[in-house]
Structure 1
Amino acid sequence: MGDFANESTGGNSSGTATATCPRDTTLTRLLFPVLYTLVFLLGLVLNSLASWAFFQIPSTSTFIVYLKNILVSDSIMTLMLPLKILADSGLGPWQLKAFVCRFSAVVFYDTMYTSIVLLGLIAFDRFLKIVRPFGKFWVQNLCSAKILAGLVWLFFFVLSLPNVILSNKTATPESVKKCASLKSHFGLKWHEAVNYICQFIFWTVLILMLLFYTIIAKKVYESYRKTQKKDNKSERRIKGKVFIIFTVFFLCFAPFHFSRVPYTLSQTRGWMDCRLQNQLFVAKESTLWLVATNVCVDPLIYLLLCKPFLEKVLCRRVKTVHTNTKTELDTRTSPNEL
Structure 2
Amino acid sequence: MVALYIFVCRLKMRNETTTYMLNLVVSDTLFVFSLPFRAFYFINRQWPFGNALCKISVALFYTNMYGSILFLTCISMDRFLAIVYPFASRTLRTKRNARIACTLIWVVLLSGGLSASFVMDTTSYTNNTIYCFENYSNLQWKSKVSKVVVFMTTVGFLIPLMINFICSMRVLQTLRHPESINRGGQLNKAKILRMIVVHLLIFCFCFFPYNVNLVFYTLVRSQVITNCTVESVVRTIYPIAFCIAVTNCCFDPVIYYFTSETIQNSIKRKSYAVRKNTLNTTIDNSVNNRNYSMNKITSLKAKFIIEESTI
Q: Which is worse superposed, 180-189 or 71-80? A: 180-189
Q: Mark the runs of 5 or more structure 1 residues left unpaired by the alignment.
A: 1-47, 330-338
Query: Equivalences for 1:151-190 in 2 at 5 Å?
Result: 151-168=104-121, 171-172=124-125, 174=127, 176-177=130-131, 179=133, 189-190=143-144
CA contact (8 A) 1:77 1:112 kept: no
Partner of residue 260, structure 1: 214
Partner of residue 321, structure 1: 305
Partner of residue 88, structure 2: 135
Query: Equivalences for 1:1-338 in 2 at 5 Å?
Result: 48-56=1-9, 57-58=11-12, 60-90=14-44, 93-96=46-49, 101-168=54-121, 171-172=124-125, 174=127, 176-177=130-131, 179=133, 189-201=143-155, 202-222=157-177, 226-227=181-182, 230=183, 233-243=186-196, 244-269=198-223, 272=226, 276-314=230-268, 315-317=270-272, 321=305, 326=309
2:5 and 2:61 map into 1 onto residues whose CA distance is 23
Cα shift at 1:116: 0.4
Cα shift at 1:111: 1.7
Cα shift at 1:200: 1.0
CA contact (8 A) 2:51 2:122 kept: no
Distance 1:261 1:311, change over 3 A: same
Alignment partner of 1:176: what SS? Answer: strand
1:128 and 1:271 map into 2 onto residues whose CA distance is 42
CA contact (8 A) 1:123 1:209 kept: yes
2:3 and 2:181 map into 1 onto residues whose CA distance is 36
1:300 and 1:317 map into 2 onto residues whose CA distance is 21
Q: Give the AA of the match of 1:254.
A: F
Alignment partner of 2:166: what SS? Answer: helix
Distance 1:189 1:137, change over 3 A: farther
CA contact (8 A) 2:141 2:218 kept: no
Distance 1:256 1:160, change over 3 A: same
2:112 and 2:60 map into 1 onto residues whose CA distance is 11
CA contact (8 A) 1:195 1:261 kept: yes
> TM-score, with normalisation over the residues of structure 1?
0.71
Cα shift at 1:322: 6.2
Cα shift at 1:215: 1.1
2:124 and 2:139 map into 1 onto residues whose CA distance is 15
Distance 1:251 1:145, change over 3 A: same
Alignment partner of 1:140: what SS? Answer: coil
Cα shift at 1:140: 0.8
Cα shift at 1:109: 0.9
Alignment partner of 1:135: what SS? Answer: coil
CA contact (8 A) 1:166 1:184 kept: no
2:122 and 2:212 map into 1 onto residues whose CA distance is 30
Distance 1:145 1:298, change over 3 A: same
Identity of aligned residues (%): 19
Partner of residue 285, structure 2: none
Cα shift at 1:79: 2.3
Q: CA RMSD in A?
A: 3.2
Question: Which string of whole-angstrom CA distances, capped at 9 and with x for unpartnered residues, describes residues 222-257 of structure 1?
Answer: 258732xx4754222222122121221111111112
Q: Which is worse superposed, 183-192 or 110-119? A: 183-192
